[in-house]
């Protein structure tokens, strides 16, 4: 599988199938393997591009804390699309991948054909709420540094993932999971591309964020997947894939 050299940081990505391009970004502490069920469901009709964020999976694990940031992640996504010869794609992701998809649109709207936001949130306008989120992210980093990869636990996404360095994941928690400002949440009013907002009915931490995004983004389609938690695509793959394929089929011709 190809690797993209991003100023000395190798980024793993994969391309499956042919057709209109869809970029899928995984959640924090997961990898592109969480999308295998979607690759199988979509590759006959779409060019499905998946990747491992820096500090995750088959990508590099830089030791420099400055090598992890929202801005660098967004530019990794743009560089992957360019490497694939893609000028405009459906940008999609789950959890941190969904947040980064919103950040990507805020930076590269011209490269965004549509958005699919799964079990995610847009960040916080309230400084105290953002700080509480960041405190949790920094605590995760500390646990990874002290306990190693055992600190990841055994969620469905984690069980599918293989990582080589707890320190890289700690760097990603501080630089990518933690949020510096309210840029992303304030961008919602300006989104005009077709948008699917999807959440598992049991994903209690993201139900309110899903409602907020669906209300703020003009014309957004909202889907709640019954009997699914944070990894809705893994818990109810058939219902998830129906929602995704239905949305993609509804898009205007590229």
Could you identify the residue written with the tokens 């948008």?
Answer: 195
Per-residue pLDDT tens over the stretch 27-54: 999 999 999 999 999 999 999 999 999 9
Distance CA 170, CA 250 (A): 39
Domains belonging to the chain, first-starting first, are 3-250 (3.40.50.1820)
pLDDT on residue 191: 98
Give the other-Cβ count within 10 Å of 79's Cβ: 15
pLDDT for 206 beyond 90: yes
Phi, psi of 232 (to 5 degrees): -60, -35
pLDDT on residue 61: 97
Per-residue pLDDT tens over the stretch 130-186: 999 999 999 999 999 999 999 988 777 777 778 999 999 999 999 999 999 999 999
Average pLDDT, stretch 185-209?
A: 97
pLDDT for 2 beyond 90: no
pTM over 0.85: yes
pLDDT for 84 beyond 90: yes
Average pLDDT, stretch 102-129?
A: 98
pLDDT for 122 beyond 90: yes
Proportion of the chain above pLDDT 70, given as a percent: 100
pLDDT on residue 157: 75
Share the mean pLDDT of the chain: 96
CA angle in degrees (0–180, nearest 5) for 191-27-147: 145
């Amino acid at each position: 599988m190809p690797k993209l050299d991003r100023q000395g940081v190798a980024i793993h990505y994969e391309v499956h199938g042919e057709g209109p391009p869809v970029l899928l970004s995984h959640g924090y502490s997961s990898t592109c393997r969480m999308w295998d069920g979607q690759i199988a469901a979509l590759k006959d009709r779409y060019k499905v591009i998946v990747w491992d964020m820096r500090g995750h999976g088959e990508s590099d694990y830089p030791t420099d804390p400055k090598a992890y940031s929202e801005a660098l992640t967004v530019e990794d996504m743009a560089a992957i699309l360019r490497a694939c010869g893609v000028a405009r794609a459906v940008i999609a992701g789950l959890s941190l991948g969904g947040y980064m998809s919103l950040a990507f649109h805020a930076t590269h709207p011209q490269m965004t054909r549509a958005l699919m936001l799964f079990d995610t949130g847009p960040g916080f306008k309230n400084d105290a709420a953002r700080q509480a989120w960041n405190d949790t992210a920094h605590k995760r980093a500390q646990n990874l540094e002290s306990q190693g990869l055992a600190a990841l636990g055994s969620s469905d996404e984690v069980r599918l993932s293989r990582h080589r360095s707890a320190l890289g994941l700690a760097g990603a928690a501080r630089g990518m999971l933690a949020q510096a400002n309210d840029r992303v949440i304030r961008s919602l009013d300006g989104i005009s591309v077709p948008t699917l907002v999807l959440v598992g009915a049991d994903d209690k931490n993201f139900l309110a964020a899903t409602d907020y995004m669906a209300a703020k983004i003009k014309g957004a389609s909202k889907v709640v997947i019954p009997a699914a938690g944070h990894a809705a695509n893994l818990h109810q793959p058939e219902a998830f894939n129906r929602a995704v394929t239905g949305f993609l089929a509804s898009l205007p011709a590229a």
